[in-house]
Amino acid sequence: MFQLWKARRGRKSILATLAPFIEGSEARLGRIPATAWHNAYVLGFLSMLASLEARITLEGSLSSLALGLIQAETIAALSGESASVHGEEILTLSMEDDPQFLSGCNQAVSFHAALQRSYRAFVEPGRSAEWKSDMPYLQDDLDALWREMFEEKVMSLS
């Protein structure tokens, strides 16, 4: 039961992080097509982002069931679709070592690292304003990275 509570808490935190990026994409692209939410790259990218963010947010071990729940429910909440369908797709693509899924996962690792550097630049005490301005991935750069890693892929699916 504790793992389910952690999964819910993790999903809420992840949605708070990802929703502004998705909303920005929808403002620029219009509604994200339903096919994008089932694309192997997009599923790999978003499910890995959910996993990485959950591990940091929840600061502890998660069962594979809880992690799978976080991944599927995060994508379901962003897409407005069923978590069970996304969970099954993620599991299948992962087990098959789908190259596009793995590419999305790898890109998510890079995006998440940039997200963490950007976050630390704003919250670490004792950092000067000059140091913060030298950070390579502040918000404008982070938005550009999101457009490159997520939006360009979604646009290529249309």
Most confident residue range from 3-17, 19-33, 62-76, 112-126: 19-33
On the question of pLDDT at 122 being above 60, the answer is no
Q: 10 Å Cβ neighbour count for 148? A: 12
Global pTM reads 0.83
Mean pLDDT of the 91-101 span: 96
Distance CA(144)–CA(114), nearest Å, equals: 11
Average pLDDT score over the chain: 84
Given pLDDT bands bounded at 50, 70 and 90, which one contains residue 76?
very high
- Residue 6 CA to residue 79 CA, distance in Å, equals 22
Measured in residues, the chain has a length of: 158
